[in-house]
Amino acid sequence: MGILNLFGRDKNVATNCQQDEIATILEEEIKDFFPKTGVWYNCCFKRPEGVASINMPCHLRDNLWMSRLLRKYLINKKGLNIPQQTIKNFIDSSESFAELRHNYELEIVNWQINWIMNGGEHWLMPNGHDEISFKFSQDVDKIVRGGVVKTLKAIGMNEQVIEEGLETNNSWRVVCMSRGFRNKFEPVRHLGKNAEPADDSHRKNWMAAREYMYYQEHKNSVDKYGTPTPAMKMTQEEYTKLSVVLKAQNAKRKALLENWQKSTESTRKNDTGVTTQKDGDTLSK
CA gap 20, 99 in Å, rounded: 20
**How many CB atoms neighbour CB 54 within 10 A?**
13
- Residue 265 in any domain: the answer is no
Helix (H) or strand (E) holding 284: strand 282-284
Q: Are 42 and 122 in contact (CB under 8 A)?
A: yes
- Residues 74-103 have pLDDT tens digits of 999 989 999 999 999 999 999 999 999 999
Residues 36 and 158 in one domain: yes
CA gap 95, 93 in Å, rounded: 6
Predicted confidence (pLDDT) at residue 235 exceeds the cutoff of 50:
yes
Q: Say which residue, 265 or 181, is predicted with more confidence.
A: 181
The total number of structural domains that make up the chain: 2
Strand partners, 274: 284
**How many CB atoms neighbour CB 143 within 10 A?**
22
Residues 133 and 216 in one domain: no
Q: Work out the pLDDT band at 114, boundaries 50, 70, 90.
A: very high
- Residue 54 in any domain: the answer is yes
Determine the 3-state secondary structure of 257 from DSSP: helix
Q: Are 133 and 139 in contact (CB under 8 A)?
A: yes
- Residue 156 in any domain: the answer is yes
CA gap 233, 219 in Å, rounded: 10
Residues 212 and 146 in one domain: no
Residues 137 and 211 in one domain: no
What local confidence, expressed as pLDDT, does residue 266 receive?
A: 65
Residues 158 and 235 in one domain: no
- Cα–Cα separations (whole angstroms), residue 171 to 110, 126, 142, 187, 226: 11, 20, 14, 23, 11
Residues 157 and 252 in one domain: no
CA gap 136, 186 in Å, rounded: 11
- Residue 77 in any domain: the answer is yes
Radius of gyration of the chain (CA): 29
- Residue 213 in any domain: the answer is yes
Residues 154 and 252 in one domain: no
- Residue 180 in any domain: the answer is no
CA gap 106, 239 in Å, rounded: 33
- Residues 135-161 have pLDDT tens digits of 999 999 999 999 999 999 999 999 999
- Residue 150 in any domain: the answer is yes
Residues 153 and 237 in one domain: no
Determine the 3-state secondary structure of 133 from DSSP: helix
Residues 47 and 164 in one domain: yes
Q: Work out the pLDDT band at 13, boundaries 50, 70, 90.
A: very low
Predicted confidence (pLDDT) at residue 164 exceeds the cutoff of 80:
yes
- Residue 264 in any domain: the answer is no
Cα 150 from chain centre: 9
Q: Work out the pLDDT band at 10, boundaries 50, 70, 90.
A: very low
Long-range contacts of 61-66, Cβ-Cβ distance < 8 Å, separation of 24 or more: 61/156, 61/158, 63/88, 63/91, 63/92, 64/88, 66/91, 66/101
Q: Work out the pLDDT band at 263, boundaries 50, 70, 90.
A: confident
Share of the chain above pLDDT 70, in %: 85
Predicted confidence (pLDDT) at residue 2 exceeds the cutoff of 80:
no
Residue 253 structural domain: 204-258
Residues 46 and 145 in one domain: yes
Residues 218 and 139 in one domain: no
Predicted confidence (pLDDT) at residue 64 exceeds the cutoff of 70:
yes
What local confidence, expressed as pLDDT, does residue 272 receive?
A: 53
Residues 160 and 245 in one domain: no
